Structure 1
């Protein structure tokens, strides 16, 4: 422990003997360090908070363009766009009038590096700027920091107000051009289809849709007719069974015979109805005419079984038989109509199939033209719907604020520089200067071999030291030492005083900015 204490005393003595070197090195380091600190420009920070609210007045399916989240992402990207930053540079005076492209790029790059957009929530942004232009004073830099944010927010508001309406007009213009192109293409396809139909008028079956679609529709209807015919035939069979077990006439005592018979009366009525149908212009191929002819044939057979004149006393027409006959005739007409329609469908299917087999190229070409027409028509209708949506969105943006920009916290007015921390740097330079001086003195003592004590000399030489002679200080030398000590204290005090003066100047300068 005593050895360590002795080594410390020796080191302290070696430094003290070179105290003027310590002071000189400290002064040199401090002067250079303080000049470097003074050359660092002060940077002033300003902060603001912005709320960007997308006003979704229309539902999502009616809104044209991006959704609310996508619009906010786009706002985040375009807030510090080059166009906006160039406007900010012009507004704040960073760009002079008539600046060239290089100066504009430099100003935009400087602003992009100094402005940060920090999203705090989905639609709340914190804007920060840090400005330190060497050519400007501290007061001007502090004013410029808040002015940049003020100008950026103003430019952003104006762009959003004009941009929404401009986007709606540009969108309508683009959609109008697309609709015109699709309409032209649609007319061309229509003309080609009409010319193809006229050229192959006997080879293309009529009807809407392609041959495959018409065959599919006919088969679907044919399936329905088959099920309906089965039910109608079952009902007709039931009516025939009931009619076979029901007498045509009934015997009424004391009543004369019914003139002409029941079947003959029904036959006369049916023939009159057939004449009426033909007078209205119905042909023999009409389903009602076919059904009535079938009923007339059945009534003729019944009339022949009654015999000529159908004479017989006391017989009267059976009302149940007449009702069943009318029911059977109606069901026969239904079955006949279904059979006729089935035959028509089968004939149409056979005709389309025959045309496809005989002319496969024509059918394929016709299908291709129809498919092209359907595609263009779908695109045309979709573009019309989109144009209406864009128009409605543009009207909403014109009448209301589609994007609302609200300033939650205005740009702060900086009163002190954010960087550098000059008082801390000045103190560190002073400490480094003093430490550098002490280190230089100690290092020099290690280079120049000398022995401060007899014990150290004895250890270094390996020889016994008989004795040592202490320094004799005369009164004249003592006065000289006191004078030099005063000079040393004055030099050290001047260094500390200069440090205090620099600190005072820093705080006074901050007060001038505030």
Structure 2
């Protein structure tokens, strides 16, 4: 610690020896920096505030029906990418900043300056954007801000239209491609159906289901054929007498099922008359008794007529059979049974042929069904994608119309306005800084001079630096005249420092008075 303190004291004593160099450098740097601050041209700031209204009642109403982009994110990204080279070149033309441009290098420097000077600040919560620009000419700054506001509004609308048009073109292109794919798939499907028309079913069943159904119909038809043949054979046996006769025994016969038209009509009439009498009279009424007697006489007469016919039939069986209605009905039923058997045989033969044909083609059906499934799957996929693309195109069209009806609303809260007083440079702040700069330059100059031409103030420093043995030291005796000169030199140095500080103080006071007077 003592060694460091000793070295620091040695450095400070060396710097003190070069103090006049430091004060001269401080005065030169101070004067140069003050002149530089004074000659810096004044800059005026122009600004404008824009409110972007992204809310609309149509957006929640159309939610889920149309494709709605994130408007807030788009506007935020637009504000971040607004200050680009193409927009700045457009701004230069709109604000007439290129009138004084003489060369390409001047134009490049102008573009770079604008890109670094233009500022866009926003509050993400309120969607309020502040555009600022500083220039030595307030009117020029105002024109630049006005042009940038116009570009801000137009860029959003133009980008929205461009995005919608690009999306629509892309969807139209994809829809056209899928239409061609659908047409090709439908053509392949049509050719397949025409080529395999015999294997198709109108009910929508697959081939093996049709084969199973054909087998079931064949078995059912065979069963119906056997039933019809059995019924027909039974009728034949009845007719030829192999089975018991259908004619009832005379002793046990009843006349209820035998018709004698003349007697039956009279009996029916009397029965109706008897029913009417019974509704009005009792069983002992003379009209009721007489009517019942007549009915009984007619039934006896009918029974005698039936007995006579049976006797005649027993005498001549052939004539009785030909004239027997029941026998005739059996013959008609037998004819119908024969016709039914023939029809069922034809049906069985047809079902057998279909079943055999389907069974023969069973080996080809897995390949045909696999090909049909592949064609149908490709068609369904293309159709689904096509319908989704058409739906999205309609959604995009509705979204575009909704944006036109309720798009982003740009409201100019504060129109472009240039400040009446310059906002830069801040000379009140820069002048004290130049004082610090001057003092720092003076101190740095004295330190550099002390290090370049060092001075030794004690024997130890000299011995350590030179590395030579030191035999002794000679002390300087200061007389009164030298002390007087050193005192005067100290006063002059203090006066130089105070004058420097006083000059800065006077300058700051004058600048303050001028700013108060102009305010």
Q: TM-score range, shorter-chain basis?
A: 0.5 to 0.7
- Name the residue aligned to 1:471: 480
- Name the residue aligned to 1:365: 371
User: Aligned pair 1:84/2:87, yes or no?
Assistant: yes
Q: How does 1:101-500 map to 2 (within 5 A)?
A: 109-122=112-125, 124=127, 126-127=129-130, 129=132, 131=134, 139-140=136-137, 147-206=143-202, 211=206, 357-400=363-406, 402-408=407-413, 413=418, 415-417=422-424, 421-436=429-444, 439=447, 447=455, 449=457, 468=477, 470-472=479-481, 495-496=500-501, 499=504
Summarize deviations over 1:62-113 as a string: whole Å, max 9, x none. Answer: 2335234553454345433444333223323444599999877765554444
CA gap of 1:497–1:181, structure 2 versus 1, over 3 A, is: same
CA gap of 1:12–1:448, structure 2 versus 1, over 3 A, is: closer
Cα distance in structure 2, aligned partners of 1:441 and 1:496: 23
The answer to whether the 8 Å contact 1:169/1:394 transfers is no
Cα displacement (A) at 1:47:
5.9
The answer to whether the 8 Å contact 1:120/1:126 transfers is yes
TM (normalized to structure 2)?
A: 0.52
- Residue 75 (structure 1) aligned to one of 72, 75, 78: 78
Cα distance in structure 2, aligned partners of 1:155 and 1:113: 17
The answer to whether the 8 Å contact 2:133/2:144 transfers is no
Cα displacement (A) at 1:157:
0.9
Using CA pairs under 8 Å that are at least 6 residues apart, name the structure with larger relative contact order, 1 or 2.
2
The answer to whether the 8 Å contact 1:91/1:151 transfers is yes
RMSD of equivalent CA atoms: 5.6
CA gap of 1:12–1:191, structure 2 versus 1, over 3 A, is: closer
CA gap of 1:361–1:439, structure 2 versus 1, over 3 A, is: same
Cα displacement (A) at 1:363:
1.9
The answer to whether the 8 Å contact 1:416/1:513 transfers is no
Cα distance in structure 1, aligned partners of 2:186 and 2:442: 96
Cα displacement (A) at 1:129:
4.9
- Name the residue aligned to 2:52: 52
Summarize deviations over 1:317-350 as a string: whole Å, max 9, x none. Answer: xxxxxxxxxxxxxxxxxxxxxxxxxxx9xxx999
CA gap of 1:32–1:358, structure 2 versus 1, over 3 A, is: same
Cα distance in structure 2, aligned partners of 1:206 and 1:473: 134
SS where residue 410 of structure 2 aligns?
strand
The answer to whether the 8 Å contact 1:29/1:433 transfers is yes
SS where residue 181 of structure 1 aligns?
helix
- Name the residue aligned to 2:23: 23
TM (normalized to structure 1)?
A: 0.52
Cα displacement (A) at 1:444:
9.0
Cα distance in structure 2, aligned partners of 1:349 and 1:427: 115
Cα distance in structure 2, aligned partners of 1:117 and 1:258: 116
Cα displacement (A) at 1:154:
1.8
Number of residue pairs matched by the alignment: 367
Cα distance in structure 2, aligned partners of 1:19 and 1:70: 62
Cα distance in structure 2, aligned partners of 1:513 and 1:139: 18
CA gap of 1:160–1:126, structure 2 versus 1, over 3 A, is: closer
Summarize deviations over 1:265-289 as a string: whole Å, max 9, x none. Answer: xxxxxxxxxxxxxxxxxxxxxxxxx
Cα displacement (A) at 1:173:
3.8
The answer to whether the 8 Å contact 1:25/1:436 transfers is no
Cα distance in structure 2, aligned partners of 1:91 and 1:481: 69
SS where residue 447 of structure 1 aligns?
coil
Cα distance in structure 1, aligned partners of 2:409 and 2:98: 30
Cα distance in structure 1, aligned partners of 2:17 and 2:101: 66
Cα distance in structure 2, aligned partners of 1:186 and 1:148: 56
Cα distance in structure 1, aligned partners of 2:182 and 2:365: 26
Cα distance in structure 2, aligned partners of 1:156 and 1:126: 10
Cα displacement (A) at 1:19:
5.9
Cα displacement (A) at 1:45:
6.1
Cα distance in structure 2, aligned partners of 1:32 and 1:120: 42
Cα distance in structure 2, aligned partners of 1:417 and 1:450: 53
Cα displacement (A) at 1:377:
1.8
The answer to whether the 8 Å contact 2:25/2:445 transfers is yes
Gap regions ≥5 residues in structure 2: 1-6, 214-254, 260-324, 327-350, 460-469
CA gap of 1:147–1:367, structure 2 versus 1, over 3 A, is: same
The answer to whether the 8 Å contact 1:193/1:369 transfers is yes
Cα distance in structure 2, aligned partners of 1:29 and 1:379: 77
The answer to whether the 8 Å contact 1:85/1:112 transfers is yes
Cα displacement (A) at 1:378:
1.7
